[in-house]
Each structure stands twice: as structure tokens, then as C-alpha cells.
Amino acid sequence: MIVLALYAAIFVASYLLVKSIVHRTTTDYASLKTVTFGDESAVVPDRLASFVSLLTIFLLWAAFTGSSLVPSFLHAPGPFIGTASFDYTAELSDGRRDDATVTVIVSRAGDTPEVPEVDPGDGFAKNDVDVIGAWRSGLVRVDRNDEVPEGVEETVVAVNGEPLAPGGTVQTAYGRVGMSPKGTLNFEPAKGWQMEPIWLPSPEAVAARFVDIARDGYRDSTLWEHLGFSLFRVVVGFLFGALVGIPLGYAMGLSAWFRGWFDPIVEFMRPVPPLALIPLVIIWAGIGETGKIILLFLAALWIMAIAARSGVSGVNIAKVHAAYSLGASKAQIMRHVIVPNSLPEIFTGARVAMGVCWGTVVAAELVAAEKGAGMMIMVASKFQLTDIVIMGIILIGVIGFGIDMLMRWAERILVPWKGKS
């Protein structure tokens, strides 16, 4: 909630700030429009906003993970690290009372701090020392070194002078001291606002992990092998899907019999999410490459068939009539009218199909695979290697975005007449 409120605050503040500082000096046509609310063409993305948006996400991420990439004054309060101490008051069943001090060394996970010797002090309650990891909590058995005579019960009755009963807690400057129903103390050092690395690692940890895996690989394969295998499956599955789907779509667009025959199949298979086919494909073809390529083939097939079909159906009958009147044969009409006319639709379908295939391959690898981007993050998640998971998600996003950009670029080059009729 805090993060969300902070995010909204930055959104509003940066808007007001940018608006008051940056005065648009452009005098192009769009800048002269007085009606912009409701005019879609007057709404062009403000690139400054995009920049601030990405910066905000990065800063929030860095601030709440204590990243070394941003100055420390931007950090959200971190967990308590260092030497904490609190006093406790113990009472024996014969009525005697004594105070002692507990020293707790709070260290980051993975560090092995030196445990100092402490002076046991006077009285029957002796001073204690313990080690607890940051973001963790631990039992503090204060009575284990206390000198309690036989037949006498010791109970802790107060911490730092504040009375404490079983089930209760006392806040100290270093964290929370609680008492279990059986009377044992536990200490939870202050956690601060930052995220623990196993939930959300800092940006530099993710980057370091990326460098690490790019160099050494993960699970017997290099990072490029993981990503390359995912991409290879997508490309091969998509190509097979297009190779079968486009001719099928053409046949459905050109022949009533084909249309009638395949319509029920295509219309039924289209709304079935490819992910729902994973179990069946695993049963039939196993978890190897064949199964994955069959799955992606099925994911791309229906999309490409429907795109090709609507590309053929979308041809203006006047164009076909004109071509016949100019003496073109059926084959020439196919080659010079129907195919070029359907290319824009096919490209749109190909973009959708590539997106769906990319999503499907990651999901299929999550289920079962030996190599692949999805397998990488799934295995990492089982070992709580959140940095690999986040790195994998970012890479999957970047590749998906790259595929879409590539398809758009190809579309611009190859079908410049799209949307121009």
C-alpha cells in the first residue's frame, strides 16, 4: 500500500512538475488543436512521461531493496543490522527477582558474525548473547545459563521494565520481543521497509546474476542455449503452423466445401487455449522437443488459418472482377490479387501467433523441459533464487517485445499498402 501510494504521488508530482517546467515550444498542427480531450489523434504518448515512469519503477525497486545503485538517502529504512540488546526481569517461584541483559547480534543472511563474550553479571539471572539473522526471528533461551535452584521455577515477567506475559509482546528500540504461550522469549529485529532479497533482490543483484549466468550458464546449459531453445521452438512451431495454416485458410476462403468442412474444427479449436493442450501433448508426445513443437504448431495453426481466411474474404470483389475483366487467369488472380490482398491480414495474424507461441513455449517449459527460459525460472523458483526468476522474466519480456518489433518492421517493409485501400 505504501509503495502504491508513493507511486501515485510520484505520478502526480512529476506531472505537475513537468507541466510547470517544460513549456511546449512546438507549433505543429497538433499543438494548435484546442479540442484534445476526446480526440484520439491529438493524444500522442509523452516520451518524458515514459522516461519518468521507467525511472520511477527503477527508483522504487532500488529504494525498497537498499540498492547500491542509488544514494543511500533514497533508501527506505532497512532492517536493523548490528548489536541489539534488551533487559529482562526474571522472577523465581520463591519470590526473588533479578535483571539481566540479552545481547543479540543481528547479521545479514550468510554472514557469520563473531559472538562476543559477555560478562555474566551478578544475581541468579545471567547476561546472554545470541545471533539472529536480519528479517528473521529467533528464540532467546534466557534461562539456560541462569542459576536456578532445584525445585524452583523461573519466569520472565518484564522486558526493559515493561511487564510481559505469555502471548504478549514488548517493542524495544531494536525490534519486538515476544513471549510464547510457554513463556519462552523470542526476538524479532526491526525489519524496516526494505524487501528481503529472497522476495525481491536488488537491481544490481539481478544484473550480477545475469552476468554470472551469461558467463557460466545455469543447469548445464548456457543462458543463450536456454533462450535459444525457447526461440527455436517458437520459430519452428510457428513456421509449421503457418505452412499448414495459410494454405488451409486460403482453401477455406476460396472453396465452400473446404469452408464447410473445416469451419467447425477451426471454430472449435480457436477458443481452446494452447495451454489447455499441454497435458494431452505431454501424454501423446512426451516432454521432448516433438511435444513442444506440436504444441506451438497447434497454437499458431488456427490463428494463421483464420488470418488467411479473413484475408481472402476481405478482398474487394471489384478487384477480382477487374482482374478477370483484364484477362487474368485463376492462377494469376491468386498470385497477383488474392495473395497480396491477404498479406496485411496474414501479417497481423503472424504477429498475434508469434506472441501466443512465445507465451505458450514459456508455459510449456514451466511444466516440463530440460532447457529453456521457462524451465530456467521454474527451477530457480524452486530454490528461492528470486534474482534468476526476475532476470528470466525480464529477458522473456524483452524477447517478446523484440519479436513484436521485428514483425512490425517486416510488415512495414513488406506490406506498405496495409490499411490503404
Q: Residues in the site for another protein, rule: CB under 8 A?
A: 316, 318-319, 321-329, 332, 336-337, 340-341, 343, 415-417, 420-421
| For another protein, the closer CB: 84 or 315 | 315
| For another protein, the closer CB: 321 or 408 | 321
User: What minimum distance in Å lies between the beta carbon of 411 and another protein?
Assistant: 13
Of the candidates 10, 12, 13, 36, which has an alpha carbon nearest to the alpha carbon of residue 24? 36
| For another protein, the closer CB: 107 or 341 | 341
Residue 227's SS3 state is helix
User: What minimum distance in Å lies between the beta carbon of 330 and another protein?
Assistant: 11
| For another protein, the closer CB: 4 or 331 | 331
Sign of the C-alpha dihedral computed for residues 112, 116, 117 and 121 taken in this order: negative
Q: How many residues in the chain?
A: 421
Give the single-character DSSP code of 66: T
User: What minimum distance in Å lies between the beta carbon of 40 and another protein?
Assistant: 22
| For another protein, the closer CB: 36 or 332 | 332
Distance CA 8, CA 3 (A): 9
Distance CA 193, CA 171 (A): 17
User: What minimum distance in Å lies between the beta carbon of 306 and another protein?
Assistant: 22
Please give the C-alpha separations between residue 49 and each of 4, 19, 39, 192, in angstroms, as whole numbers. 18, 11, 19, 31
CB 164 within 8 A of CB 186: no
What cell numbers appear for 31 in the block?
499543438
| For another protein, the closer CB: 108 or 330 | 330
User: What minimum distance in Å lies between the beta carbon of 8 and another protein?
Assistant: 45
Residue 181, CA atoms < 13 Å, CB-side half-sphere: 0
User: What minimum distance in Å lies between the beta carbon of 250 and another protein?
Assistant: 17
Distance CA 216, CA 421 (A): 53
Please count the other Cβ atoms lying within 10 Å of the Cβ belonging to residue 205: 18
